[in-house]
């Protein structure tokens, strides 16, 4: 099940955004959505009946000028967004996820996970956490791991909470969408490889993050983060040129109308350029791939309130629109 966007364009920045849409049982198609909430089918506008969003991103440097022309041209047929279902904007081949990248979030976690024999004050432990993060930043050591494309779902789709997930939690994130193959790119050039940005909610089952059978193994991201639908994505890819500086975007997540996360990307330890450059040191990033940049303070573990059947999450990032997802418990 899915819901429709609550407004025409859901407040994205710039004159247009890109999405993947469908109508009834027809195949999904890449679309340009203008700032009045009207849709241009890019298969027709670009004369490519087999075009997909990933295929468009593979031509990003050459196709971007044409997209600007289409957005400004009154001639292409435009239909109301309300006629379509909004899907995840892209099907990536690779998803690069980040942890421990928001300063306040990491400090809160450090303080909350105090060892039983640690008798230091909260102020002392916060100072220690700040020192650790300053060292990480200076040594250029982001924390990046791999997610599965099969966990991605649309921005208005229901999210199934698996019966085995005892502590499902939310993690609102800014996601960079890659527009050019990137391998071992320097930080000062990394943003040249980003086509645009979108919203991701990187759901996590806290109960299965750490292996209990053998703690020395460490984290189990396969089990805790990659259930089907655990990464609601979109609604739009907003071109990087419309978003501009990503250093002060507001991330806000409401649970049943109550604000849980509300933080600026200013609190990031590593900015988008450093995250993209770091991931490219090891892997070859491909057009359509996602680089998730971490989640700010305010997750469910902080509030002592995790996701339950019937919960509704409303998530937004400045200039990127908003997504709404409803949680549905898996039938036993």
What are the pLDDT digits (tens) for 277-293? 999 999 999 999 999 99
> Which pLDDT value is given to residue 10?
59
Write the DSSP string, 200-255: EE--EEGGGSB-SS-GGG-B-HHHHH-STT-EEB-S-BEEHHHH---TT-EEEEEE
Tokens describing residue 1: 């099940």
Q: What is the mean pLDDT of residues 10-32?
A: 92
The pLDDT of residue 121: 84
**Mind listing the pLDDT tens digit for each residue in 140-186?**
889 999 999 999 999 999 999 999 999 999 999 999 999 999 999 99
Lowest mean per-residue pLDDT among 88-97, 98-107, 275-284, 316-325:
98-107
Judge whether 277 and 239 are in contact, CB under 8 Å. Answer: no
Q: Where are the domains of the chain?
A: 16-86, 95-101+142-329, 103-141
Query: 103-112 and 122-139 helices cross at what angle (nearest 10)?
Result: 130
Across the chain, mean pLDDT equals 92
> Taking residues 179-202, what's their average pLDDT?
98
Residue 108 in 3-state DSSP? helix
Nearest to 183 by CA among 90, 270, 276: 276
Helix/strand/coil percentages in the chain, nearest 5: 30, 30, 40
Mode of pairing for the β-strands spanning 194-201 and 172-178: antiparallel
Is the predicted pLDDT of residue 271 greater than 80, yes or no? yes
What is the band of 229 on the pLDDT scale with cuts at 50, 70, 90? very high
Name the pLDDT band for 265 (thresholds 50, 70, 90). very high
Q: pLDDT at residue 228 above 60?
A: yes
- CATH 3.90.850.10 is right for the domain spanning 95-101+142-329: yes
Q: Which of 243, 292, 325, 288 lies closest to 30 in space, CA to CA?
A: 288
Of 5-14, 84-93, 159-168, the range with the lowest mean pLDDT is 5-14
């Amino acid at each position: 099940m899915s819901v429709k966007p609550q407004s025409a364009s859901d407040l994205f920045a710039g004159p247009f955004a890109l999405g993947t849409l469908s109508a009834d049982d027809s195949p999904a198609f890449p679309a340009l959505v203008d700032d009045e909430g009207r849709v241009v089918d890019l298969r027709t506008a670009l004369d490519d009946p087999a075009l997909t969003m990933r295929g468009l991103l593979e031509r990003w440097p050459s196709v971007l000028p044409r997209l600007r022309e289409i957005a400004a041209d009154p001639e292409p047929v435009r239909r109301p967004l309300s006629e379509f279902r909004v899907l995840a904007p892209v099907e990536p081949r690779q998803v690069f996820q980040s942890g421990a990248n928001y300063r306040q979030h990491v400090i809160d976690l450090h303080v909350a996970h105090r060892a039983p024999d640690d008798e230091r004050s909260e102020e002392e432990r916060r100072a220690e956490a700040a020192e650790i993060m300053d060292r990480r930043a200076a040594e250029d050591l982001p924390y990046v791991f791999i997610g599965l494309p099969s966990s991605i779902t649309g921005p208005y789709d229901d999210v199934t909470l698996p019966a085995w997930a005892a502590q499902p939690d939310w993690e609102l994130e800014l996601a960079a969408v890659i527009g050019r193959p990137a391998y071992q790119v320097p930080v000062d050039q990394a943003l040249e490889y980003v086509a645009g940005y979108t919203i991701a909610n990187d759901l996590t089952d806290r109960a299965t993050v750490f292996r209990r059978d053998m703690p020395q193994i460490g984290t189990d991201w396969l089990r805790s983060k990659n259930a089907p639908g655990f990464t609601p994505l979109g609604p739009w890819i907003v071109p990087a040129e419309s978003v501009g500086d990503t250093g002060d975007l507001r991330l806000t997540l409401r649970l049943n109308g109550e604000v849980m996360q509300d933080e600026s990307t200013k609190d990031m330890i590593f900015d988008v350029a450093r995250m993209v450059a770091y991931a490219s040191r090891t892997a070859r990033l491909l057009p359509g791939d996602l680089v998730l940049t971490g989640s700010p303070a305010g997750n469910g573990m902080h509030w002592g309130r995790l996701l339950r059947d019937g919960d509704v999450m409303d998530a937004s990032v400045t200039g990127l629109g908003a997504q709404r997802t409803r949680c549905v418990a898996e039938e036993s």
